[in-house]
Structure 1
Amino acid sequence: MLPQTILNAARRFGDRAAFRLASGASVSYSDLDRASDEVAAGLAVRGLGEGDVLLLSLPSGPEYAVAYLAAAKVGAVTAGANPRLRARERGLVADTVDPALVLATESLAGGLPDDLAVELVTPTEDPGRMLRTLRVAHHNVPDLAEDPGRAVCICFTSGSTGDPRGAWFTNRQLAAIAEMDSGGAWGSGGHLVAGTASAHVGVMTKLPWQLASGATIHVMDRWDAGRLLDLLEHHRLPAVNGVAAQIALLLRHPDFDDHDLSGIRAIVVGGGPSPPALVHEARRRFNAPYSIRYSSTESGGIGLGTSLEADDEEALHTVGRPRSGVEAEVRGENGRPVEPGEVGEMWLRTPSTMSGYWGDPVGTATALVDGWLRTDDLASVDPAGCHRLAGRSSEMFIRGGYNVYPLEVEAVLGTHPGVDQVAVVPRPDEVLGEIGVAVVVPSNANRPPTLEELVAHGRSDLSSYKLPSAVRIVDRLPLNAGDKLDRRALAAEETGRQADG
């Protein structure tokens, strides 16, 4: 799919900028097609072909895209290592996919096994010199036969242990995602901002329709609130996209109120539920509706969402309903749907779902059952048909014999006026086994909420065993490489505090 897409895009859009860097330098659609042709020839000369894995440990940007497109032109499978990974994590990614070749910058090569073929890349803003050492001119690579089942990319996520798992996708899934996200349209144009790393599922599985749109994609190697605000204002972008933490950083930028953001018509936020206080503030200050999108790497970044016309109950406390083409069920441990209001595991069925975990047939068989994806997310369905997340199965803890679901507690505590952000994590306890700790970023650092105030606030909506037994005030909540809340780090810190007495 990708080879034909970039070929057609180059013919249609030619010298239009496909990527624009922070410096103002740009890479055109013609540049992308020509460079990826020459890199594809270089990969073929090195022996890469259909089914081989090319691992990219590169900064986000056009060079990543050129390598990805080139690999697709020879039938190789591209795996991406997030630039924010540490050396140990990078090594685990490489072990998972056993690549035939790795392209890495010197700063992102640490941790790669010594026995791998690694070619170092020097980033440049000159389209004619991108991936220069791999390019072979005037060498035709034979066109691939059309094959919907050909593997195209591997996107990494973390398993229950935190180790990387590679969700792999074929042409069939990329075509389905393009249809679901854009209706298969060509030439809509405009401007897009790449808010996540190029290795993220939100880029790798969506690049086909983004190229088909003819849009100019603005690249931020590292996400920056000030630069995004400038782009939103300058290009009159109709929507701001990101995860909740990024929206919070935009709102807290000292120059936020100096920007004209009247062009924004929607705030679309993925990565899980958003704190109610954040939704309130974002809607007011952007003067735009706020839609929460629920999905996962395994689902191809497609799932559920709240309506832009949602009332407060839906917008603040749920992740909405399945998108068109998506089915969702909440099932019990027996694999059968539970009654409305009961907590169970979210199962999804969508044509965008991964083919499996690369090199992990056992994990694949656990996650994919009769065409359904087991998400490991706990949820319930309310009377309006909206889904409310209760956390991950692995995040649930047991206090005195009762199950506590952190997201359920956070949804209530997050409505306290003194709470800006909150995460509930377990702490070992000699009597109850585990207790809940509310880790809070206060709205006012000089007047943080007390445990007594939080308990009083939550008592009318939560059973007593779900209420926190302790509170810890922090300046910010830790995020992982995917800009999601790092619950493991918080839980580990509570375990350490308990051990220290």
Structure 2
Amino acid sequence: MRPLAAVTARLLVSGGPFEMETAEINGVATRVWKNAPPHMRSIVESSAEHGDTAALVYGDERLTHTEFYRHTAAMARRLLDDYGVAKGDRVAIAMRNYPEWVIAYFAATSIGAIAVPLNSWWSGPELEFGLTDSGATVLVADRERIERLGEALERLELSLIGVRAGELPEGARSWDAVLGEPGPDARLPEAQPAPDEPCTLFYTSGTTGRPKAAVGSHRNLSTNIVSGSFSRFRSLMRLGLEMEEVQAYVDALGPSVVLCVLPLFHATGAQTVMLPTLANGGTLVLMYKWDPEEAMRLIERERVSAITAVPSMISQMTASPRLGDYDLGSLMVLASGGAPAAPALVSRTRRSMHEMLLGQGYGLTECSATATTNGGSDYLLKPDSAGLPVATVDIMIVDAAEQELPPGEIGEVWIRGPGVVHGYWQRPQATAAAFTGGWLRTGDLGRLDEEGFLYIVDRATDMIIRGGENVYCAEVEAAVHEHPAVGEVAVVGVPDEDMGEEVAAVVRLLPGGELTEQELADFLAPRVAAFKIPSRIRIVTEDLPRNAAGKLLKKRLKQEYGWSAAERG
């Protein structure tokens, strides 16, 4: 394979598509992509240039890039004129992966407002918290989210736009009524968002049990558009191709058709799937919910060329008995995102599907989803690695004294680059704890090899990744503790072949307390999202093991209950 340094030098040549420059962000000199879109508005404006190419596909519904521009421009005008949305105001989005999600996002950010994607799996109280915490003035939501909020909508001082919702609460308006019929003269309202102004609040769970909103700027998000192309070029050029050959290959393929199987409220779904697809004139095919057979049907029907999915989705698709019934020949890129893929899954995918580019990456909401990428031949050689940092990103491994460690040594992973967000919304202490001098302290443990490939060896304390969904134990423990019969609880992640991890809980009852596993699950249902409810529950009466400092010994609990190895529940 061609040496990494030679490939990188060729890609970063002055005047090329991957030229870098230095920008001062929050007082820190930062390498940035010179040719990245300056803001979300520019992505919408470029859509008009892609004409009749499909931009959004949902079921039998299709919007061309021209129609996408007109719908977004019309909704931006309505937000401005009808709802008084101004620069810096928050517009919350709570719904399934509908076309309206995409349009609402770009309509808000194109006029300098801040889009607030809310987790559509959240319960009513969780949604209410996100709306209150963000101070949203407008909520765009579908029927299910409106029903979950219920009477809370009366307490919230915001305007509601209902999407595919049927009968609406008093004072709310339907999406169709607000949007009207966008005509050929629809134009975006005048606005001048700056690259480092905030444009999104993506919520990420915290160890305190309350989600925190990462404040993302236009530059944070647009960085991913160039970083994705850079990574693709780097992996192909490592095989010996010249830059011009890769460009000719990409041009011959034409715009990508990307199946969006991840929720758009996730940084991965919105920032590494939606944004690059639309910015490059591609087609985003949306799914109502994940179903492996439906995914294969859509790949065949729409000639899908790329998918980014969590490992459990890839596993279900490759294990489907109907895998051979569909023509999947158009699929050229299959990437793992949201959770690390086991090397065994990589091998299984290669055996069961045709030759394609496989890959995965590493990132957090706090670094706008992408820090490292591992694709092509690198991924096949090092499937257990999270990959190489993109050229604008620095990765440093530090010890407990925050001193940089040499290659091979395990320590905390720190990230610096234009994707690192500007902190947490209205959380100065949490911001100070996680961000320092342009660096993001990830809380993840990892190491770098001699070539600069990153390996994650452990995750942030008490975090479970269930099918790509982050679950923080403290949040679930707090909800369990609300039950009057509970004395103490320990929530842990246990290995699972399908989901990667499942949520498990050991609950000690108070003397005289009575509680069954099903009763606890029913108790939690209205309090936390369904994916956070433990699927493995043990009810005990003895004290849970703790160390001398009173800290729960969760590793010992896993061993005692046989949860240290994969278990079928």
Q: TM-score range by the shorter chain?
A: 0.7 to 0.9
1:419-439 CA-to-partner distances (Å, cap 9, x unmatched) read xxxxxx9xxxxxxxx999964
Unaligned segments of structure 2, at least 5 residues: 1-38, 166-172, 232-246, 466-472, 474-489, 499-529, 545-560, 562-569
In the other structure, the counterpart of 2:109 is 72
1:202-240 CA-to-partner distances (Å, cap 9, x unmatched) read 343354432232212111021221121123334444443
What is the distance in 1 between the residues matched to 2:269 and 2:494? 34
Q: Which one of 175, 192, 195 corresponds to residue 148 of structure 1?
A: 195
In the other structure, the counterpart of 1:299 is 367
- The alignment's TM-score, normalised by the length of structure 2, stands at 0.66
- Judged with a 3 Å threshold, the aligned counterparts in structure 2 of structure 1 residues 499 and 256 are, in CA distance, closer, same or farther, namely farther
Q: Contact 2:362 / 2:372 at 8 angstroms: preserved in 1?
A: yes
What is the distance in 1 between the residues matched to 2:338 and 2:369? 10
- The alignment's TM-score, normalised by the length of structure 1, stands at 0.74
In the other structure, the counterpart of 2:312 is 245
Q: Contact 1:173 / 1:353 at 8 angstroms: preserved in 2?
A: yes
Partner SS state of residue 129, structure 2: helix
Matches within 5 A, 1:113-192: 114-123=155-164, 131-135=175-179, 142-182=189-229, 188-192=254-258
Q: Contact 2:257 / 2:303 at 8 angstroms: preserved in 1?
A: no
In the other structure, the counterpart of 2:418 is 351
What is the distance in 2 between the residues matched to 1:66 and 1:238? 23
Partner SS state of residue 163, structure 2: coil
Q: CA deviation at 1:3?
A: 2.5
Partner SS state of residue 365, structure 1: helix
Matches within 5 A, 1:8-407: 8-10=46-48, 12-22=49-59, 24-45=60-81, 46-109=83-146, 110-111=148-149, 112=152, 114-123=155-164, 131-135=175-179, 142-182=189-229, 188-206=254-272, 207-288=274-355, 290-310=358-378, 314-315=382-383, 317-382=384-449, 385-395=452-462
Q: Which AA in structure 1 matches 2:446?
A: A
Q: Contact 2:70 / 2:187 at 8 angstroms: preserved in 1?
A: no
What is the distance in 1 between the residues matched to 2:494 and 2:75? 51
- Judged with a 3 Å threshold, the aligned counterparts in structure 2 of structure 1 residues 238 and 103 are, in CA distance, closer, same or farther, namely closer
- Judged with a 3 Å threshold, the aligned counterparts in structure 2 of structure 1 residues 101 and 435 are, in CA distance, closer, same or farther, namely closer
Unaligned segments of structure 1, at least 5 residues: 397-405, 408-424, 426-433, 443-484
Q: CA deviation at 1:98?
A: 1.2
What is the distance in 1 between the residues matched to 2:330 and 2:189? 45
The number of residue pairs the alignment matches comes to 423
Question: Over aligned residue pairs, what C-alpha RMSD do you find?
Answer: 3.8
Q: CA deviation at 1:487?
A: 8.7
Q: Contact 2:412 / 2:442 at 8 angstroms: preserved in 1?
A: yes
Q: Contact 2:315 / 2:345 at 8 angstroms: preserved in 1?
A: yes
Q: Which AA in structure 1 matches 2:271?
A: T
- Judged with a 3 Å threshold, the aligned counterparts in structure 2 of structure 1 residues 67 and 486 are, in CA distance, closer, same or farther, namely closer
Q: CA deviation at 1:391?
A: 1.8
State the percentage of identical aligned residues.
23
Partner SS state of residue 71, structure 2: helix
Q: Contact 2:224 / 2:370 at 8 angstroms: preserved in 1?
A: yes
Q: CA deviation at 1:488?
A: 8.6
Q: Contact 2:137 / 2:159 at 8 angstroms: preserved in 1?
A: no
Q: CA deviation at 1:195?
A: 1.6
In the other structure, the counterpart of 1:446 is none
What is the distance in 2 between the residues matched to 1:441 and 1:260? 27
1:4 corresponds to 2:70: no
Q: Which AA in structure 2 matches 1:21?
A: Y
